Structure 1
Amino acid sequence: MSAMNSMSNVENLSPQIIRRVVKEMNDLVNDPPEGIKVSINDEDISDIQAYIEGPAGTPYAGGVFRVKLALGKDFPQTPPKAFFLTKIFHPNVAKNGEICVNTLKKDWKPDLGIKHILLTVKCLLIVPNAESALNEEAGKLLLEQYECYSQRAKMMTEIHALSSKVPKAGLEVAASSADGPMAKKHAGDKKVTADKEKKKLLKDKKRTLKRQIGCTKSDMVTGCSNFTMTTVLPSTGDLTIPTTARS
């Protein structure tokens, strides 16, 4: 069973660790980092989810990406597992969504907080690391055909990430009884029409993406982390980029 689908580990965490995680999550809700919003699971504090906005100046700009941190029974002595739940084309993200970053591997320290982890994941969207490529195709394109890589990443963002919604604390979406049945009917009709248009748009974009994949059928390097690190993305100055290296 994958880490994304594993059962809760909250019963294996000590009360002290649970209090620490609860405090960190509350701090993130009250004072969120720019472009990051967390979603608290009151029934399972070991299941941490967040929404990360794609940074400006990257192929992920305009997207909202859902990320999951799964705390294991030995947390914080061992790092959590991190996954993108939103599909993304990125060298350091496997097809199952698993994220490869040294902060969650050999550079892990028990005193690192959830905020630090989420900022590190956001920084991966700014500066991917081809040396730790879990997606070999994306890693090779990043180094050798950046424009093709950028087009693929943008297309995946448009298909899968633009429809994501960042939840607002305490927001409840419910139809008011004062609206009456006719108002609800018209709202339902509009929703059906919008859904049809959205499905047609996504289908067209997927066709375009399949055509673009044809330009990437060159031989791929087998094995993880066999690339030479090259910084190819334009620089953005909002975040301090944590040092990442091959895992």
Structure 2
Amino acid sequence: MASAPLTAQAMRALARELTELQSTPPEGLRVIVNEQDLADVQAEIEGPAGTPYAGGVFRMRLALPADFPASPPKGYFTTKIWHPNVSKSGEICVNVLKKDWKPDLGLRHVLLVIRCLLIEPFPESALNEEAGKALLEDYAEYCKYARMMTDLHALPAKRPMPLATASAANADGAAGGGGGGSSAGGGGGEAGVPGSPAVKKAKQLNPALSKSKKSLKRL
């Protein structure tokens, strides 16, 4: 879906920022440029360690309005995720995309705040009331369901091992060698934001949530 056209000045600024995000991406984030429509900003977010989203890769998009950066973008997860601040249709509820928006914040800040939302949800402003209630009342159950949804929808596809051909197997046997495969993985936590009382209670049950390296302004 094409976004409304930006002004030439905004488009030049956006192109510069997207280039910077691709050359020096934030930890746990990968920006994907839609060359047909730069105002449709897409990204992949690695689930932060110590959360029920760890190991998952979540696709999201920011739709920029025609008067951007005067008005904030709208944020959506296109990968299904069970989270208090994400509606079942994928809409993201976070203050930086609403009342706390400032034209000079930049997309890097927005993406970092959204990733931090996976570390510290805010059930007080829940779009998914069921997830918000679970977080407040039974953190273990919340983690269990969020983990299940991550496993179902957000785990990256595993690359299959290549099949050895008969000739390759014979060549290996003649040479006395063998074959193998390799795998790679990665990810890390990003800074958290100051938590709500519900999150502080959750941290007592899950100490991993308190291992953020630095803090951002409250969402």
TM-score scaled by length of structure 2: 0.77
**SS of equivalent residue, structure 1 residue 230:** helix
* Separation in 2, partners of 1:154, 1:241: 25
| Aligned mates of 1:143, 1:230 — CA distance in 2 | 6
Question: Structure 1 residue 31 and structure 2 residue 24: aligned?
Answer: yes
Instruction: Tell me, in whole angstroms, the C-alpha distance in 2 between the residues paired with 1:65 and 1:121.
Output: 11
Q: Deviations over 1:161-207 (max 9, x none)?
A: 00369xxxxxxxxxxxxxxxxxxxxxxxxxxxxxxxxxxxxxxxxxx
Shift of 1:47: 0.4
Question: 2-side partners of 1:237 and 1:94: how far apart?
Answer: 25
Higher helix share: 1
Instruction: Report the alpha carbon displacement of residue 239 of structure 1 after superposing the two structures with TM.
Output: 4.5
Runs ≥4 residues deviating over 6 A: none
| Aligned residue in 2 for 1:151 | 144
Letter in 1 for 2:98: K
The one of 110, 115, 130 aligned to 1:122: 115
Which residue number in structure 2 is paired with residue 242 of structure 1?
A: 217
1:241 CA drift (Å): 3.1
For residue 54 of structure 1, the aligned residue among 47, 50, 53 is 47
How many residue pairs get aligned? The number is: 177
Question: In 2, are the aligned partners of 1:35 and 1:52 still within 8 Å (CA)?
Answer: yes
Task: For residue 42 of structure 1, report the CA deviation from its aligned partner.
Answer: 1.1
Please list, as runs of the form range in 1=range in 2, the aligned pairs for 1:1-247 lying within 5 A after superposition: 5=1, 7-9=2-4, 11=5, 13-163=6-156, 229-231=197-199, 232-233=202-203, 234-244=209-219
Supply the AA of the counterpart residue of 1:161. A
Give 1:100's aligned amino acid.
C
Assess, with a 3 A threshold, how the Cα gap between structure 1 residues 25 and 115 changes in structure 2: closer, same or farther: same
Asked whether the 8 Å contact 1:126–1:236 carries over to 2, the reply is: no
Shift of 1:14: 1.1
- Confirm or deny: 8 A CA contact 2:7 2:66 kept in the other structure: no
TM-score of the pair, normalised by structure 1: 0.68
